Amino acid sequence: MKIAFIGLGIMGRPMAGHLKNAGHAITVLERKSLTAEDRAAFAVAPDGKSATAGADAVIIMVPDTPDVEAVLFGAGGVAEGLKPGTLVIDMSSISPTATKEFAAKIAAKGCDYLDAPVSGGEVGAKQASLTIMVGGSEATFERAKPLFEAMGKNITLVGDTGAGQTCKIANQIIVALTIEAVAEALTFASKAGADPAKVRQAITGGLATSRILELHGERMIKRTFAPGFRIRLHQKDLNLALQAGRELGVALPNTASTQQLFAAVAAAGGADLDHSGLVKALETLAAHPVAPDV
């Protein structure tokens, strides 16, 4: 396919690369951040309208709901370049309510729309092992599935439009609360005088084991907080969760408290740390680090 891929960030760049390696022709937007490798691998267009003209599919991977809206419907945006039958796939993590509105506008142009947020972070993006949660029609999903298979492994049509975003919010609640649990446990163990690395090793073989204990627990101990997924982005996702909870009348008390811990780290200058950096808030409360900073 000819694909306009908009959003070459930490995850978008390797995702676009996998699509290129699968034989698709990729056009990206002109940005100062484009590397020489990007310019060699991809065609470059000045705006979304130009990138979309002649494309079979458009894939969007940007940070937040307003960003997706600007990409789609801003001046010189994707909507201006769409031809009937174009497949539009939003792989960002945004509001389910806004997603339904965007999809309706795209459908009015005779185009198909999928919301397909992902989980797996930078590692999953680089390894093409992302979990992809999809909302939309089954026919559109089947059309897009070869593209998803170039970027991910666990690919699920969750339901109609917006269901992918709802699933991603649920995912982010679980991830955030598990990061908090790991951080709390390691802070407790370290202040009690136990070696947190040995504690992590011991409980990795038991019921408490998880990918977050394995990966993010190690980050907390080794103090490696370079972002795979930034705190400010997880804050955005939990804001979506809390907003949706209010709309639905669903109490999310632990989501709210974890959001406050993220906010504490962000307020101290850590908004661009990896989300495992949440441990810093608990370390401050305990007046004790899990491990010394290196």
20: annotated active-site residue: no
> 135 and 116 in contact (C-beta within 8 Å)?
yes
16's torsion region: left (phi>0), alpha (psi -120 to 50) or beta? Answer: alpha
DSSP 267: I
The string of DSSP codes covering 194-247 is: --HHHHHHHHTTSTT--HHHHHHHHHHHHT----SSBHHHHHHHHHHHHHHHHH
Q: Of all helices (H) and strands (E), which one includes residue 181?
A: helix 163-191
Set 2, 20, 32, 168: catalytic member: 168
The string of DSSP codes covering 67-136 is: HHHHHHHSTT-HHHH--TT-EEEE-S---HHHHHHHHHHHHTTT-EEEE--EESHHHHHHHT-EEEEEES
Q: How many helices (H) and strands (E) are present in the chain, helices listed first?
A: 14, 9
Tell me the two tokens of residue 53. Answer: 């003209």
> 141 and 115 in contact (C-beta within 8 Å)?
no
Amino acid at 249: G
Q: Look at the block and give the residue holding tokens 């504490």.
A: 264
Active site residues: 168
